[in-house]
Amino acid sequence: MVQTLILYGAAALLLLLSFRKDRKKTVMSLKGAKTMGISTVPEIVGLLGIVSLVLTILPPEAIRSALGNESSTLSTLIGAAIGTVTIIPAFIAFPLSKQLIASGAHLMAVAAFITTLTMVGFATMPLEISHFGRRFTILRNLYSFIAAILIALLMGVIL
Amino acid sequence: MIRRYKFILISLVGYLLLALFSPERLGASAELLVGFFTEMLQVLPPVFVLTAMISVWVPNEVITKHFGSSSSWKGIVLSFAVGSLSAGPIYAAFPAAAILLAKGARVQNVVIIISSWAVIKLPMLITEAAFLGTRFAVVRYLLTVPMICIIAYAMERSVKLPIEAKEDQAIARILSDLPGKNCRACGYSSCHSFAQAVVQQEKAITDCRLL
């Protein structure tokens, strides 16, 4: 909530300053922002629609049973994979992770799940490709996936 | 045009099927959707405005100086700061980071911005600590920061985007959003040269008469 206020406040303040200094440039900025909106919002809305649908069909309980596996290495891989293919908002992800640990999931698996959840995104790949190209997107997601597993394994050693 | 709306179409078909076969689940789905849209509205409009203002007001040289190939560890620190102080989900980072890349930031710093935008957030750290314990959250963060540096370094080594390639990419992206009729109403000889002018920020895409 505070973040939203700061963000909107900063945008409004800078717009005002910009308008006082140079009207033409300000109008150009707003046009640019509008273009960005027109070209990305339909894709984002569509993707969020698909993600909500998938999360409805594949409820948190399914994720919980997948992460409670006997082998911790396997669970870590599964955790990383589930985090990759889903986008779950933080307000669901953290309580869910707590439940996961309480019901016997491995710490490492949960760490891998949270890390890939935020850094790696299958669902957002089309968006990333349209901004940075295919090679950049695939490599960044691949490296981040490997890094998430390393982070999880190190956490298993430390904690 | 259709390409832009294909995900909306797919999800509409999906919801139609859900309504037909399992209408009792529509409520849960709608709840999620409202949550996502709130998150989107909280972040995207101001991020778009701020990004567009960076693109208009901040000269390329400034970006190149602070985020470009000669920016050493200072660029890294600055990128972490930009990413972690920004708000919102990872998809909000893409337009902002893409503008910085187009204005001369090096790949390494762009990757740091995207990654830290997604992962390193004080409010998220506090929430994580509240649910999973301070030790868990802090250790995960301490491991994530160096990992992001390694990812960024690896990306810098494996993705080489010469300036021309970046510009071509930007032109192609704008071209795909134009009607492609080469009508010349904008004053340029073809849609391609109009797209070039948009990339060089002489024109805005909304100056296209047919759009």
Q: Which of A12-16, A27-31, B90-94 has the lowest mean pLDDT?
A: B90-94
Q: How much is the pLDDT for B1?
A: 59
Is residue B120 a contact partner of residue B82, using CB atoms and an 8 Å limit? no
- Res A147 pLDDT > 90: yes
Q: How much is the pLDDT for A139?
A: 94
Q: A29 versus B85: which is more confidently predicted?
A: A29
Chain A residue with the nearest C-alpha to that of B35? A89
DSSP, residue by residue, A44-97: HHHHHHHHHHHHHHS-HHHHHHHHT-S-HHHHHHHHHHHHHH----HHHHHHHH
B179 at A interface, C-beta within 8 A = no
What region does B160 belong to: left with phi over 0, alpha with psi -120 to 50, or beta? beta
Q: How much is the pLDDT for B131?
A: 86
| Yes or no, beta carbons of B139 and A155 under 8 Å apart | yes
Once rounded to an integer, what is the mean pLDDT over residues A64-68?
Answer: 72
Q: How much is the pLDDT for B12?
A: 92
Distance from CA of B74 to the nearest CA of A (A): 22
A88 neighbourhood in chain B, CB within 8 Å: none
* Assembly ipTM: 0.83
- Res A60 pLDDT > 80: no
Which residues touch A43 (CB under 8 Å, ≥6 apart)? A126, A127, A130, B4, B7
Helix (H, G, I), strand (E, B) or coil at B103: coil
Share of chain A above pLDDT 70, in %: 94
Mean pLDDT by 10 residues, chain B (211 residues): 80 91 86 85 87 85 83 89 82 88 89 90 82 91 94 90 63 78 84 83 83 76
| Yes or no, beta carbons of B11 and A39 under 8 Å apart | no
Distance from CA of B189 to the nearest CA of A (A): 22
Q: How much is the pLDDT for B13?
A: 92
Distance from CA of B186 to the nearest CA of A (A): 16
Burial group, residue B140, by CB count within 10 angstroms (0-12, 13-18, 19+): buried
- Res A102 pLDDT > 90: no
| Yes or no, beta carbons of B107 and A128 under 8 Å apart | no
| Yes or no, beta carbons of B136 and A107 under 8 Å apart | yes
- Dihedrals phi, psi of B103, to nearest 5 degrees: -90, 5
Distance from CA of A125 to the nearest CA of B (A): 9
Q: Between A and B, how many CB-CB pairs are < 8 A?
A: 226
Is residue A100 a contact partner of residue A110, using CB atoms and an 8 Å limit? yes
Q: How much is the pLDDT for A91?
A: 61
Once rounded to an integer, what is the mean pLDDT over residues A4-8?
Answer: 86
pTM exceeding the 0.90 threshold for the entire prediction:
no
Residue in B36, B46, B177 nearest the CB of A11:
B46
